[in-house]
């Protein structure tokens, strides 16, 4: 099977980690019978400065017409309000209808209280519809934004969460991992005590979906978002799958990343029907850009996650194992992990373990 | 001076901790020349069930006409959507124009990396305007909520944050605490990379306010909300004052509470011009209600915070010291802190230290 992968490095360290993603795809063992071809694509603030568009039409077209999946690095946000600029990753998620953002957060196996959870974030609506307006009043300016929650989007993200919970259970059953039988659970996160209609709709729709017979072995739990953040920090090992509207999911995944030591470890995939874009959770990190010390692991894991959603679970497993090997040994770590290895050295070490 | 204080226990453990708040006010040394009278007031889900209103008009009227300040316990949210029910504390904040929610989060002095920050949360707008609607489409229901941010509210909350930063600096200067000269800093939290108009307005207004000459010794910093949660967990001792729109402030304060061990320790005050309501950050905790084991410290600190905003800094300091004494000794702690003391035992111990 040949897969064509779009490469969208974006800005800052995106340009240092996406090449690492390409390298690991090219280094996959030939026994997997997978071949890759690549399309280099532009997006980001630099692209905006040069062309006036943060997400060129060409990028969207090639992804749609030619590619099976893609890797997205990171983009810099302008530090002062910039007319006409708008986040290309947010636009891409909408244009390709990548309705789920999946963010697994996992500590190394030897951790004292091991964390192994996944945040399933709705990726197309909520405040990210970006319908805003500003008006003048006698007391000054007032701005409004729409938070939109639909039954349709809530239903498909809850389905994704349920399926992921089942898949994780299958993996635990088959590998005997998870120790004392961690139970399958989906935690629905919302703020329906204040937003009874919008978050109320998310909550009731998700409950309904997860109450279907195929999910009978998946426990349904709920947390108000503020309490979820609290619990995430106090008892992270209690959680399995967390499903949330777009903005809460954004916030929770950074919180979860802090728990495992570094944003530089946490991958994500933007998933739609038949398409997936892997994306490290970290940003463009202007402070370390150009130094060659960015942690490539979030990207390498994002490559694996993308492959999983493209149906290539074996290839994904190879990458996860190689990364875990590097982390467990703990000899070649990038500075965010307290080490002193360069991006390339970490990549080499992981490629050797494939 | 005689102060009249409204007591609104609400539901669950609210009824166990608010009496503790009353007791500490009555136990303040007479040298402070402060007297208190109390008005018992209703609000909450139980009140809603009995009267059809979660926040009776009488409660609002008495607070407005008779009281100088108040203590609010906690309210239970209905577990299933309940027509006509709406959070009384959210309503109260609006009705009394208590535009700031101030939440200091402080670890005990002997902590390894001491945390001493305060979250200043806008308390009247954002998604808490609760303007929602639901409509049907061929694909199912869609619900929308308005997020509203005004220049006026952003300006006054930024002013509050600036004043609190200055006040904290004065306290540090006069007590020599804070060790190696912790700098005054206000961190503006927002998500203007997505919400350029609403959060953009919050950001630019706050920047403008804090750039005024009176705040020249206060450093201005910014964090995108997801990154703020990450940093809060990784480097909490870097922060001094964090100012945020309503919803982010809600989420951040629960996150910060997790850092110091228990929500049962964290106080808040809802502050307007000339009025303050102390409110523990924890909820009604139905799981432990009636057992007499709720941690009273969040409430006792909320009493102190209320007194501070009513201009009684000396009385406030007495309470803080007594609470710190209890925590530093660590002998009489409630179960959330790993101890086995009852609410009353913790209160007695703290009263003795006054
Ligand atoms: C860059 C930003 C628009 C984006 C988001 O909020 O979705 C980022 O934080 C993420 O999580 O991918
Ligand atoms: C109970 C709820 C409406 C409230 C809020 O969201 O403001 C609570 O979480 C708080 O922080 O005081």
Q: Which chain B residues contact residue A193 at CB under 8 A?
A: 77, 87
Q: How far is it, in rounded angstroms, from Cα B232 to Cα B228?
A: 6
| Short-list B87, B48, B75, CA closest to B286 | B75
CB contact under 8 A, B194 and A130: yes
CA distance between the termini of chain A: 19
Q: What domains appear along chain B, each with residue ranges and CATH number?
A: 2-115+260-352 (3.40.718.10)
Counting beta carbons within 10 angstroms of the beta carbon of residue B94, is it exposed (0 to 12), middle (13 to 18) or buried (19 or more)? Answer: middle
Mean pLDDT value across chain A: 94
Q: How far is it, in rounded angstroms, from Cα A44 to Cα A15?
A: 11
If one counts every other C-beta atom within 10 angstroms of the C-beta of residue A354, the result is 14
Is the per-residue pLDDT at B178 higher than 80?
no
Is the per-residue pLDDT at B188 higher than 90?
yes
Q: What is the mean pLDDT of residues B11-24?
A: 98
Return the ligand 1 atom nearest residue A246 CA: 7
Across the interface, which of A200, A233, A257 has its CB nearest the CB of B255?
Answer: A233
pLDDT at A217: 95
| Short-list B230, B133, B107, CA closest to A260 | B230
Chain A interface includes B254 (CB < 8 A): yes
Return the ligand 1 atom nearest residue B224 CA: 9
Q: How far is CA B344 from CA A60, A248, B292, B296, in A?
A: 64, 38, 8, 8
The CB-side HSE value for A167 (13 A sphere, CA atoms) comes to: 13
Chain A interface includes B87 (CB < 8 A): yes
For the four alpha carbons of A190, A192, A194 and A199, in that order, the dihedral sign comes to: positive
CB contact under 8 A, A147 and B147: yes
Across the interface, which of B152, B195, B230 has its CB nearest the CB of A132?
Answer: B195
* B316-319 contacts at long range (C-beta below 8 A, 24 or more positions apart): B318/B28, B318/B29, B318/B32, B318/B354, B319/B24, B319/B28, B319/B354
Q: Six-digit token pair at A37?
A: 């071809």
pLDDT at B110: 67
Q: Which chain A residues contact residue B145 at CB under 8 A?
A: 146-147, 195, 197-198
pLDDT digits (tens, 9 = 90+) for B309-354: 999 999 999 999 999 999 999 999 999 999 999 999 999 999 999 9
For the four alpha carbons of A39, A44, A49 and A51, in that order, the dihedral sign comes to: positive
Residues whose beta carbon lies within 6 Å of some atom of ligand 2? A 193-194, 226; B 87, 89-90, 250
Question: Taking chain A (354 residues) in consecutive chunks of 10 residues, what is each chunk's mean pLDDT?
Answer: 97 98 97 97 96 96 98 89 88 96 87 87 97 97 98 98 95 71 90 95 98 97 96 93 98 93 93 96 94 97 97 95 95 94 97 96
Chain A interface includes B83 (CB < 8 A): no
| Short-list A255, A277, A335, A345, CA closest to A20 | A345
Is the per-residue pLDDT at B226 higher than 60?
yes
Alpha helices (runs of H) in chain B, residue ranges in sequence order: 14-26, 45-51, 57-66, 88-95, 151-175, 198-210, 225-234, 246-259, 297-309, 313-329, 343-352
Token pair 């799981």 in the structure block, residue: B287
pLDDT at A175: 78
pLDDT at B262: 86
For the four alpha carbons of B321, B324, B329 and B333, in that order, the dihedral sign comes to: positive
Across the interface, which of A87, A149, A191 has its CB nearest the CB of B194?
Answer: A87
CB contact under 8 A, A201 and B130: no
Q: Which chain B residues contact residue A87 at CB under 8 A?
A: 193-194
pLDDT at B82: 82
Q: How far is CA B157 from CA A81, A153, B20, B123, B245, in A?
A: 21, 35, 30, 9, 9
Residues 270-329 of chain A whose Cβ lies under 8 A from any Cβ of chain B: 283
Residues 6 or more apart whose CB falls under 8 angstroms from that of B65 comprise none
pLDDT digits (tens, 9 = 90+) for B147-171: 999 999 999 999 999 999 999 999 8
Chain A interface includes B65 (CB < 8 A): no
Instruction: Out of B189, B191, B192, B194, give the residue to mutate to test ligand 1, the one with the largest number of ligand atoms within 8 Å of its CB.
Output: B194
Contact (CB, 8 A) for A69 and A277:
yes
Phi first, then psi, for residue B198 (nearest 5°) are -70, -65
Q: Is the pTM of this model over 0.85?
A: yes
CB contact under 8 A, B257 and A227: no
Q: Are strands B116-122 and A116-122 parallel, antiparallel or unpaired?
A: unpaired
Q: How far is it, in rounded angstroms, from Cα A280 to Cα A72?
A: 8
If one counts every other C-beta atom within 10 angstroms of the C-beta of residue A58, the result is 12
- Helices A14-26 and A343-352: crossing angle in degrees, nearest 10, is 20
Percent of chain B at pLDDT > 90 equals 89
Q: What is the mean pLDDT of residues B218-228?
A: 96
pLDDT digits (tens, 9 = 90+) for B264-275: 999 999 999 999
Residues 32-51 of chain A whose Cβ lies under 8 A from any Cβ of chain B: none
Q: Which chain A residues contact residue B191 at CB under 8 A?
A: 127, 247
Determine the residue of chain A that is closest to B126 in CA distance: A144
Residues 184-203 of chain A whose Cβ lies under 8 A from any Cβ of chain B: 191-198, 200-201
For the four alpha carbons of A147, A152, A155 and A161, in that order, the dihedral sign comes to: negative
Chain B interface includes A238 (CB < 8 A): no
Chain B interface includes A155 (CB < 8 A): yes
Q: What would you measure as the largest C-alpha separation in chain A, in angstroms?
A: 71
Secondary structure of residue A262 in the 3-state scheme: coil
Radius of gyration over alpha carbons of chain A, in Å?
A: 20
Determine the residue of chain B that is closest to A253 in CA distance: B226
Q: How far is it, in rounded angstroms, from Cα A211 to Cα B255?
A: 30
The rounded Å distance from CA A92 to ligand 1 centre is 12
Phi first, then psi, for residue B123 (nearest 5°) are -120, 5
Contact (CB, 8 A) for A68 and A258:
no
Burial B111-146 (b: 16+ CB within 10 A, else e): eeebbbbbbbbbbbbbbbbbebeeeeeeeebbbbbb
Is the per-residue pLDDT at B134 higher than 70?
yes
Q: What is the mean pLDDT of residues B67-71?
A: 98
Residues 6 or more apart whose CB falls under 8 angstroms from that of A147 comprise A126, A127, A129, A195, A198, A247, B127, B144, B145, B146, B147
| Short-list B199, B263, B257, B189, CA closest to B227 | B189
Contact (CB, 8 A) for B103 and B243:
no
Ligand with smallest separation from the Cα of A230: 2
């Amino acid at each position: 099977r040949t897969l064509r992968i779009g490469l969208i490095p974006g800005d800052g360290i995106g340009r240092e980690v996406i090449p690492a993603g390409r390298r690991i795809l090219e280094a996959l063992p030939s026994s997997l019978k997978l071949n890759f071809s690549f399309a280099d694509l532009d997006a980001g603030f630099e692209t905006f400065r040069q062309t006036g568009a943060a997400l060129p039409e060409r990028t969207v077209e090639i992804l749609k017409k030619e590619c099976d999946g893609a890797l997205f690095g990171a983009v810099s946000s302008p530090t002062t309000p910039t007319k006409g600029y708008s986040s290309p990753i947010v636009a891409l998620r909408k244009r390709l209808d990548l309705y789920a953002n999946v963010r697994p957060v996992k500590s190394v196996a030897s951790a004292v209280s091991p964390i192994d959870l996944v945040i399933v974030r709705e990726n197309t609506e909520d405040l990210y519809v970006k319908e805003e307006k500003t008006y003048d009043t006698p007391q000054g300016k007032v701005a409004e934004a729409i938070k939109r929650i639909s039954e349709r989007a809530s239903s498909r993200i809850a389905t994704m969460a349920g399926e992921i919970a089942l898949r994780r259970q299958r993996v635990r059953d088959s590998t005997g991992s998870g120790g004392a039988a961690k139970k399958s659970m989906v935690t629905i996160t919302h703020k329906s005590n204040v937003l009874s209609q919008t978050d109320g709709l998310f909550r009731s729709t998700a409950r309904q979906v997860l109450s279907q017979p195929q999910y009978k072995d998946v426990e349904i739990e709920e947390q108000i978002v503020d309490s979820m953040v609290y619990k995430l920090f106090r008892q992270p090992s209690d959680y399995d799958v967390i499903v949330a509207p777009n903005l809460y999911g954004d916030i929770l995944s950074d919180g979860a990343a802090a728990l495992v030591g570094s944003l530089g470890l946490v991958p994500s995939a933007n998933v739609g029907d038949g398409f997936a874009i892997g994306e490290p959770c970290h940003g463009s990190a202007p402070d370390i850009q150009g130094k060659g010390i960015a942690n490539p692991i979030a990207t390498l894991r994002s490559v694996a996650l993308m492959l999983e959603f493209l149906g290539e679970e074996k290839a994904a497993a190879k990458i996860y194992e190689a990364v875990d090997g590097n982390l467990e040994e703990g000899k070649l770590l990038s500075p965010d992990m307290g080490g002193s290895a360069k991006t390339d050295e970490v990549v080499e070490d992981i490629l050797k373990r494939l």
